[in-house]
Amino acid sequence: GAVVSQHPSRVICKSGTSVKIECRSLDFQATTMFWYRQFPKQSLMLMATSNEGSKATYEQGVEKDKFLINHASLTLSTLTVTSAHPEDSSFYICSASSSGAYNEQFFGPGTRLTVL
């Protein structure tokens, strides 16, 4: 299947700092990528849909000024958590849709963010 990478896999930062997470589709072009957040023992919650060359579409309740999404190319989307606080600590996962047999979403390995 298609490969999606995420960097970094883990990050620990101090409260008030900003953290950037990269999501790359390695062997296919993705006009649309998705960003999810997953708290422990819970399901994936969609944060936003990232469209190449245009503004991201955020889900209700997700602060667009806090979670900045940039989709500068067909293979790269970034999520920046600005002025992070401990409540932002979570597992962040990106996905990208390919033109595979089922148009399934391929997920990155996730980024575990811990804000102290």
Partner 1 sequence: AQKITQTQPGMFVQEKEAVTLDCTYDTSDPSYGLFWYKQPSSGEMIFLIYQGSYDQQNATEGRYSLNFQKARKSANLVISASQLGDSAMYFCAMREGRGSARQLTFGSGTQLTVLP
Residue 5 binds partner 1 (CB under 8 A): no
Segment interacting with partner 1 (CB under 8 A) among 17-25, 37-45, 67-75, 82-90: 37-45
Token pair of 3, please?
Answer: 């490969």
Judged on CB neighbours under 10 Å (0-12, 13-18, 19+), 61 is: exposed
Amino acid identity, residue 102? Y
By CB under 8 A, what part of segment 49-108 binds partner 1?
A: 49, 91, 93, 95, 97-99, 101-107
d(CA 41, CA 28): 31
Site for partner 1, rule CB under 8 A: 1, 31-32, 34, 42-46, 49, 91, 93, 95, 97-99, 101-107, 109-110, 112
